[in-house]
Structure 1
Amino acid sequence: MGTGIVATAGATMPGLRTPATYVWALDAALLVFLVAAALRRWTWTTVRAQLADPVMAQFWGAPPMALMTVGTGTLLLGSDWIGLPAALAVDWTLWTVGTALGLATSVLVPLRMIGSGERAFGGWLMPVVPPMVSAASGALLAQHLPEGQFRQAVVLACYALFGVSLFATMVIVPQIWQRLVQHGLGAASTVPTLWIVLGPLGQSITASNLLASVPVLPGQTAFGILYGTITWGFALLWVAMATTVTIRTARRGLPFALTWWSFVFPLGTLVTGTSALATRIPSAMFSFVTLVLYAALVLAWVTVAVRTTLMTAKQS
């Protein structure tokens, strides 16, 4: 999903459609490879063991987001290669499966944490972000539906998914902040997970403004702009805090781990959210910040992708 967000965010950047399409193709190939590899290795015992682990369980939110990110890239970019009807078919399939899995993780994983005594960290948001991704992705799909009851139902369902993720986020983020205040940052390897907070923030800005493009309720555009601008301000505050904490930790030593991918997808959602606001509000500020954030996203992706490739090669 980290690679996919580089592609989908690039779809809105001027002059980057062709490079973004190649990134989407790479992401789609990676998804096929990883799904095939997972199906060969996973057993019910393995799945149960991962769900029983309070840390590993959180990252079950990643697969549904990966499916929907590739689906959105297929609609936005892949349609140039395979045609719009085929792209819609792929996106609807991946969106449906991803939404179902995302709803499952947003219920089952938080239930697993009740009474566990575990301290909250950024990874706790992973299981509850997928419904917000569903809301944003579903808004794009709804734009291709004819007006009628089904289109209205899809949009209303997307707003409901928006609420699932938003209010779950509002419950979890204060717990993360409380842990930071009372117990400090913890292990250096967990510091990148602070960036995951940007995921629901940026994706909710994206979703609220994309849904405004499919009007079925009064005030959708006003809600998208007002909610998006307010949340965007808090997201930039979190960027400043997370950046400061990351730099301080790096000075003491920040060993590479797969948690570094937390730098990528959440930042990408802020790019798409800022881009969505730039489309709604004729302000050069949003357009400029979108470009700056996208440059940072590409740099983060290249850094993490190279380090991941080197680590994988070394282990094999």
Structure 2
Amino acid sequence: MSSVTLLPTRAGHSHGARLPFGLLRELERPADLFRHLGPNWYASVMGTGIVANAAATLPVRVTGMRTAATVVWALSGLLLVTLTAARSVHWRRHRAEARAHAAHPVMAHFWGAPAMALLTVGAGTLTLGRDWIGLPAALAVDVVLWSAGTLLGLVTSVSIPYRMMSRHTFAADAAFGGWLMPVVPPMVSASTGALLVPYATAGQTRLTLVLACYAMFGISAFAALVIITQIWTRLVHHTVGPAAMVPTLWIVLGPLGQSVTAANLLGGVAALALPAPYAAAARAFGLLYGLPTWGFAMAWTALAAAVTARTVREHLPFSLTWWSFTFPLGTCVTGTSALAAITGSVVLQATAVILYACLLAAWLTVAPRTAAAAARGTLFLPAPPAARPSP
């Protein structure tokens, strides 16, 4: 069975100059932290950003919560800038490794993460960052990040599946949650694009934005449906697989929760661009599509939680795949909050709060571990040959 290990577990040997406090002690040279820096690192930006964005959608308000969420948004923005700068160094100094990531049958899928990181931080800038930098600046930043993230996401949603179809041969048990990463960005663009609709120029510009968001909704929804079916088939016929793959089961929640969010956000702004009959239909679609999809997402959450709990009891090694516990769950928070807003359901409101508490717990577990492993340099080592997946 194919396996996925995005975090190596072997230790390095520091033969070069050591940094104070034992920083990057697992690396031969401190500069090696750029050598194997993959696109999967952007999952940390996504996971941090969704903690902030989801807080802004909750149906309850707690004193200080918005301020705390804005601080987390700022952290996600700092991570995005820092990581993008590091990745530029990676491409300049280690072009061979960078190209190898793009061609790798597993790592290539995580090229969807940079697009979603841009979109997540952009949405947070408009909803939270405006408190600090003002609406005009927040809107300008969001437009730039949304445009860049959308373009990159559209490229990955076609190019990565094309590469899978034309250059790789996969075993029958190869499907895993990471296959969803390159096709989910258009759905994130659809939901975050809905936030921009009220600010778009009335007329053809606004109409085009709404229609584009619905089209991107379709791109992601149908591709995700095909892939989720393959993942279900693999789980039934080939069991869960190696422990390192277990966190990726949570990625399935990403397109589910994000599509519920997108359907309802777009339904809420459709009247600004579409004529009356279709605007009402768009709003109804948010509920009629959202509730069944939300139900399946909750069932998958229970399934993934059960598998994860069993794996933790046996041993679940830490890796960057643990960030899969954050962003996908965060989309379920935003989707649940959207459904609660349109229905007024107290049950959905309570569920949104509970899911957010789980999201916060997951982030508070993964973020410190990531920081500690990064400080040691462990996260910057190449995966050992035995752990690398075979196509």
Q: TM-score range by the shorter chain?
A: over 0.9
**Corresponding letter in the other structure for 1:145:** A
**Corresponding letter in the other structure for 1:106:** S
Give per-residue Cα distances to partners, 1:8-53, cap 9 Å, x unaligned: 0011231221110010011111111111111111155333211211
- Could you tell me whether the CA contact under 8 Å between 1:20 and 1:77 is conserved in 2? yes
Find 1:179's aligned residue among 221, 234, 249.
234
- Could you tell me whether the CA contact under 8 Å between 1:274 and 1:290 is conserved in 2? yes
- Could you tell me whether the CA contact under 8 Å between 1:143 and 1:213 is conserved in 2? no
Q: Find the aligned partners of 2:170 and 2:79 in 1 and give their Cα distance.
A: 36
1:309 deviates by: 1.1
Q: Find the aligned partners of 1:52 and 1:310 in 2 and give their Cα distance.
A: 29
Give per-residue Cα distances to partners, 1:217-272, cap 9 Å, x unaligned: 34011000110111000000000000000011111111111100000000000000
Q: Find the aligned partners of 1:238 and 1:205 in 2 and give their Cα distance.
A: 15
Q: Find the aligned partners of 1:200 and 1:74 in 2 and give their Cα distance.
A: 22
1:298 maps to what in 2?
360
Q: Find the aligned partners of 1:46 and 1:95 in 2 and give their Cα distance.
A: 28
Find 2:122's aligned residue among 52, 68, 71.
71
Find 1:267's aligned residue among 314, 329, 349.
329
Find 1:28's aligned residue among 77, 84, 98.
77
1:179 deviates by: 1.1
The reply to whether residue 141 of structure 1 matches residue 196 of structure 2 is: yes
User: SS state of the match for residue 200, structure 2?
Assistant: coil
**Corresponding letter in the other structure for 2:259:** S
Larger Rg: 2
More off after superposition, 87-96 vs 48-57: 48-57
Contiguous gaps of at least 5 residues in structure 1: none
Q: Find the aligned partners of 1:48 and 1:113 in 2 and give their Cα distance.
A: 16
Q: Find the aligned partners of 2:262 and 2:334 in 1 and give their Cα distance.
A: 9
Q: Find the aligned partners of 1:169 and 1:315 in 2 and give their Cα distance.
A: 34
1:300 deviates by: 0.1
1:190 maps to what in 2?
245
1:278 maps to what in 2?
340
The reply to whether residue 153 of structure 1 matches residue 202 of structure 2 is: no
Find 2:54's aligned residue among 1, 5, 9.
9
2:185 maps to what in 1?
130
**Corresponding letter in the other structure for 1:191:** V
Q: Find the aligned partners of 2:336 and 2:84 in 1 and give their Cα distance.
A: 31
- Could you tell me whether the CA contact under 8 Å between 2:55 and 2:66 is conserved in 1? yes
Runs of 4+ in 1 over 3 A off after TM superposition: 43-47
Q: Find the aligned partners of 2:153 and 2:267 in 1 and give their Cα distance.
A: 23
Q: Find the aligned partners of 1:12 and 1:208 in 2 and give their Cα distance.
A: 15
Contiguous gaps of at least 5 residues in structure 2: 1-45, 379-391
The reply to whether residue 117 of structure 1 matches residue 170 of structure 2 is: yes
1:146 deviates by: 3.7
2:153 maps to what in 1?
102
- Could you tell me whether the CA contact under 8 Å between 1:59 and 1:126 is conserved in 2? yes
**Corresponding letter in the other structure for 1:274:** T
Question: TM-score with structure 1 length normalisation?
Answer: 0.98
1:128 deviates by: 0.4
Q: Find the aligned partners of 1:208 and 1:46 in 2 and give their Cα distance.
A: 39
More off after superposition, 89-98 vs 211-220: 211-220
- Could you tell me whether the CA contact under 8 Å between 2:90 and 2:98 is conserved in 1? no
Find 1:258's aligned residue among 320, 330, 336.
320
1:145 deviates by: 2.1
Give per-residue Cα distances to partners, 1:124-176, cap 9 Å, x unaligned: 00000000000001000112224211101000000000000000001101111
- Could you tell me whether the CA contact under 8 Å between 2:73 and 2:125 is conserved in 1? yes
The 5 Å alignment of 1:174-253 reads 174-215=229-270, 216=274, 217-218=278-279, 219-253=281-315
User: SS state of the match for residue 54, structure 1?
Assistant: coil
2:6 maps to what in 1?
none
2:384 maps to what in 1?
none
Q: Find the aligned partners of 1:143 and 1:300 in 2 and give their Cα distance.
A: 33
2:26 maps to what in 1?
none
Q: Find the aligned partners of 2:192 and 2:123 in 1 and give their Cα distance.
A: 6
Find 2:141's aligned residue among 77, 85, 90.
90
Give per-residue Cα distances to partners, 1:276-303, cap 9 Å, x unaligned: 1111111101100000000000000000
